Amino acid sequence: MLTDQQILRIPGPTPIPPSVNRAMSQPMIGHRGQSTSEMIQDIRPKLKRVFGTQQEVMILTASGTAGLETAVVNTVAPGEEVLVVVTGAFGERFAKICKAYEIKTHVLDVEWGQAADPEAVKAFLKEHPEVKAVFATFCETSTGVLNPVQELAAAVKEESDALFIVDGVSCVGGTETKMDDWGIDVVVTGSQKAFMLPAGLAFVAASERAWVKIEANPQPRFYLDLKKHRDNILKDTTPFTPALSILFGLQQVLQLMEEEGLEQVYARHQLMMKMTRAAFQALDVPLLTTDDAASPTVTAVKPADFDAEAFRKIMKQEFGFEVAGGQQHLAKAIFRIGHMGYCSPADMLQAIAIMEIGVLKAGKEIELGKGVRAAQQIYLNEGKLAQ
């Protein structure tokens, strides 16, 4: 096998574009100097467009989980009551963080692989009028579900005054996000998913309603205190030492996104999702989610007649190709393909062509090329959108 080739198609981190790698290898500069300020000044409006907000998007040097914790400790006071909508492993993480702070945490459990139902959230809130915040996951990375956060936001607003807080880690930047228009109060994401960067930065934005709560919230916090972050980013700086090389990369990533056009970026992700799903459907290999609940950034496949782990092992050995396995009770039952960030329709055609070989070698009789053909047809029918 060709050595030194890794084809990384896990749901984050994604491969890093060459120009971003070049940007990240710039020499270190002082993070309190003018060059860093100018870089942050350049980044701010572009990051707002990705979030669909007029609010400041704050940049924390931390991984995604710290972003989730930031949302919790800034918006919920000790002893308050919250609802966490759990559709998979990352929904559970929100609940765990809340419980760590002795917040009264209700959990609305949704079967893994299904999307959250706004009506169920409304019904829950009607029965629990003391809930002060509702937490949900935009793309549930563990299942490849894209939850309907716009509808969930509307449901929360209709039924309560609770803040609506969204973990957007594995999809913001790869799918349309209109934080302000949709009435989302806090959006969190990380650098290593659709942002095509190494892990190390978390991005958090909060609505005006959320800021009122954040200002008054007595919950102790220091590094994750959003007030400090906002005061500093308004002056084009950060309260603590930033991960400077990733910041160099972020500036270039945002530049690339603007060059491609955000609408085109989102259309490309939709196209890759449809190509991937059409391929497995053509090969008669079941998907975990319905088309309606599917995420444009990650697809979970649940093979019925071959072993998911054997398949992953074959793909790694033969092609240096890596997809993710399942988590928790889906640990050996599914595999998950990331198609986000630095990933193109051409990359998905490659992934599908070699996965057909993997499926065959894992023991399922298939017509070779059939999945590729289905994906090619999607590309030909819908590819215009992503041009």
What residues make contact with a copy of itself under the rule CB under 8 A?
1-5, 7, 17-20, 25, 256, 259-260, 264, 268, 318-321, 342-347, 349-350, 352-354, 356-357, 360, 367-370, 372-373, 376-377, 379-380, 383, 386-387
CA Rg, the chain, in Å?
21
Residue 18 phi, psi dihedral angles, 5° rounding: -55, -40
In whole angstroms, the minimum distance from the beta carbon of 113 to a copy of itself comes to 29
Name which of 216 and 380 has its Cβ closer to a copy of itself.
380
In whole angstroms, the minimum distance from the beta carbon of 7 to a copy of itself comes to 6
Other residues' Cβ atoms within 10 Å of the Cβ of residue 182? 19
Judge whether 336 is annotated as a binding position.
yes
Residue of 247, 230, 202 lying closest to 35 (CA atoms)? 247
In whole angstroms, the minimum distance from the beta carbon of 289 to a copy of itself comes to 24
179, amino acid identity: M
In whole angstroms, the minimum distance from the beta carbon of 3 to a copy of itself comes to 5
Other residues' Cβ atoms within 10 Å of the Cβ of residue 309? 14
In whole angstroms, the minimum distance from the beta carbon of 346 to a copy of itself comes to 5
CA distance 275 to 108: 32
- SS3 string, 92-137, reads HHHHHHHHHCCCEEEEEECCCCCCCCHHHHHHHHHHCCCEEEEEEE
CA distances for 282 relative to 136, 207, 274, 349, 356, angstroms: 33, 44, 12, 14, 11
In whole angstroms, the minimum distance from the beta carbon of 260 to a copy of itself comes to 5
Residue 347 phi, psi dihedral angles, 5° rounding: -65, -40
Name which of 101 and 342 has its Cβ closer to a copy of itself.
342
In whole angstroms, the minimum distance from the beta carbon of 20 to a copy of itself comes to 8
Name which of 54 and 377 has its Cβ closer to a copy of itself.
377
What DSSP designation does 365 have? -
Residue 203 pairs with which residues in a beta bridge? 59, 189
Name which of 98 and 352 has its Cβ closer to a copy of itself.
352
Pairing verdict, β 321-322 and 7-8: parallel
**Complete DSSP assignment for 66-85:** HHHHHHHHHH--TT-EEEEE
Residues 6 or more apart from 33 whose CB is under 8 A from it? Answer: none
Helix axes 345-361, 262-282, angle to 10 degrees: 20
264, amino acid identity: Q
**Complete DSSP assignment for 292-359:** TTB-SSEEEE--SSS-HHHHHHHHHHHH-EE-EE--GGGTTT-EEEE--SS--HHHHHHHHHHHHHHH
What's the full length of the chain, in residues? 387
In whole angstroms, the minimum distance from the beta carbon of 355 to a copy of itself comes to 10
Name which of 226 and 378 has its Cβ closer to a copy of itself.
378
In whole angstroms, the minimum distance from the beta carbon of 39 to a copy of itself comes to 19
Name which of 91 and 341 has its Cβ closer to a copy of itself.
341
Name which of 5 and 241 has its Cβ closer to a copy of itself.
5
Name which of 77 and 357 has its Cβ closer to a copy of itself.
357
Name which of 73 and 323 has its Cβ closer to a copy of itself.
323
Exposure string for 311-334, b = 16+ CB within 10 A, e = fewer: bbebbeeebbbebbbbbeebeebb
**Residue list for the binding site for substrate:** 336
**Residue list for the binding site:** 336
